[in-house]
Amino acid sequence: MKQTAATLSNMKTNGRIYTPGYIVGNILDLCEYCGENILGRHVVDNSCGDGAFLVEVVRRYCEAAKNADYAVPRIISELSRYIHGIEIDESECEKCRENLTKTAAGFGVTGVEWDINCGDALKINEYNGKMDYVVGNPPYVRVHNLLDNYDAVKGFSFAQNGMTDLFIVFYEIGLKMLNCTGILGYISPSSLFNSLAGSNMRKHLTYCRNIKKVVDLKHFQPFEATAYTTIMILTHIKNHYVDYYEYDEDNLAPFAISRLNYDDFIMDGSFSFGTKNILYEFKKILSRITGTTACTVKNGFATLYDGFFIGDWPFEEYTIPVIKASTGRKTKCIFPYERTGKLIPFEILAKNSIINKHYGDNAEKLKRRSLENDDLWYGFGRSQGINDVYKQKYAINALIRDIKDINLNLCEPGTGVYSGLYILTDLSIGDLENVLFTNDFIQYVIMLGKYKSGGYYTYSSKDLSRYLNYKFAEKDGYAHEQLAFS
């Protein structure tokens, strides 16, 4: 789908992103929608668009019916009765009907009266409790873009927390449509694993044991949109275990990783997936609740205008050396603060004519930043990192793919850190390297599931602090430790 301005607007307000055929096939296969078993079974795509899922559904249904020697009139009748779609856009509804008609005609089947319901799935209840299969790619729309449907969306129980997205509500709609033995298969953002918006949904899925299969596509992105996605297969039959898959980008198909108990992947109300051994180690790190603190991890400077403050300045007064944690590059930074972290009065800074001119040339841009205090326009945009300038620390980047991407650098007292994190500790750089330049650390970062483009992962100061303090406690034999999990 070409992304014109109109298309992008439509994607934002209606969440319409067309699904590649191989993803459609993956989901139908995972739902076991194939063979003669699908005959006489109701299937719905409640956000069907122009029919990506339903075209393949009709193709499989016709093929199964032909293999079962159904006469054409019977096939016409059953396609009219058992294949359902809902789409809010009238032009898309018409395209869907045309596509289904063309598909059926390829099997010599014509004259089907397609049940493609042009309406709002949030308000349609006629399919509830009747569907054997609910499949699709629900719309991805943030709640503040929902315009007239805001109140309707917030009325769903899955939408009560955080800045919800419409796809989360469609999980609730889909589950309501399933009959007691039905199967739901969606592709949607994997943010549902840990977002605040997805917390009610996770609680429901956990309590009811709805999850049957999960495919984490990780960095693989089947859509032009930037969301990282998962395929979820749900049922109303309580599942005592979940089959976890990852995605083979070369063969465009899921491959099995592990069979998990619910206790394996539920951590502090969030979901994390992997092998049992990896999940066990990950849970131990996350479960540490008290104990010695060998390291404190913080965020570097947030000037909100690095182009003004940071550079190879030809003067020394009111500057300090800084290191860019993301690259290890060293340069200088205008630092209008006393050793105590208090902002130096501007009239004192202005006595340096070069700095005064530099501020004068950029005053308007500095004042347009999102500042904690508008009166302090000539300082950094945030206070983080300022009070630790005169302490020894280690700068570290927070965007990695593997061990070779880690940049760990000693910062002598008087050196600032920006564009990344820094570690305050009495430990040596060798001590840190022994726990950071390891496959354990890379696996931990991967398990956090914070994907970035180019195959990268990111982590927060809290994430790094948890890992370091757990690892050094482990080396110390867990003296004085208390864990919520063992």
Q: State the DSSP string of 96-157.
A: HHHHHHHHHHTTT------EEEES-GGG--TTTTTEEEEEE-----BGGG-GGGHHHHHTSG
d(CA 462, CA 252): 35
Q: How confident is the model at residue 10 (pLDDT cuts 50, 70, 90)?
A: very low
Task: Name the token pair of 392.
Answer: 């020894």
pLDDT recorded at residue 311: 95
Beta strands in 295-337 (DSSP E): 295-299, 310-311, 319-324, 329-334
Domains of the chain: 5-274 (3.40.50.150), 296-342+380-483 (no CATH)
Beta strands in 217-334 (DSSP E): 229-235, 241-248, 253-261, 266-267, 270-271, 288-290, 295-299, 310-311, 319-324, 329-334
Q: pTM for the full model?
A: 0.88
d(CA 232, CA 190): 9
Res 264 pLDDT > 80: yes
- Cβ atoms of 478 and 285 within 8 Å: the answer is no
Res 3 pLDDT > 50: no
pLDDT digits (tens, 9 = 90+) for 320-367: 999 999 999 999 999 999 999 999 999 999 999 999 999 999 999 999
SS3 at position 87:
strand
pLDDT digits (tens, 9 = 90+) for 29-62: 999 999 999 999 999 999 999 999 999 999 999 9
- H helices of 164-210, where? 166-177, 199-208
**Roughly what angle, to the nearest 10 degrees, separates helices 439-448 and 429-436?**
60
Which range has the worst mean pLDDT, 53-57, 73-77, 213-217, 450-454? 450-454
pLDDT digits (tens, 9 = 90+) for 92-151: 999 999 999 999 999 999 999 999 999 999 999 999 999 999 999 999 876 655 556 667
Contacts 24+ apart (CB under 8 A), 288-291: 288/466, 288/469, 288/470, 288/473, 288/481, 288/482, 288/483, 288/484, 289/482, 289/483, 289/484, 290/480, 290/481, 290/482, 291/469, 291/473, 291/478, 291/480, 291/481, 291/482
Looking at per-residue confidence, does 89 or 161 come out higher? 89
SS3 at position 219:
coil
Q: How confident is the model at residue 5 (pLDDT cuts 50, 70, 90)?
A: very low
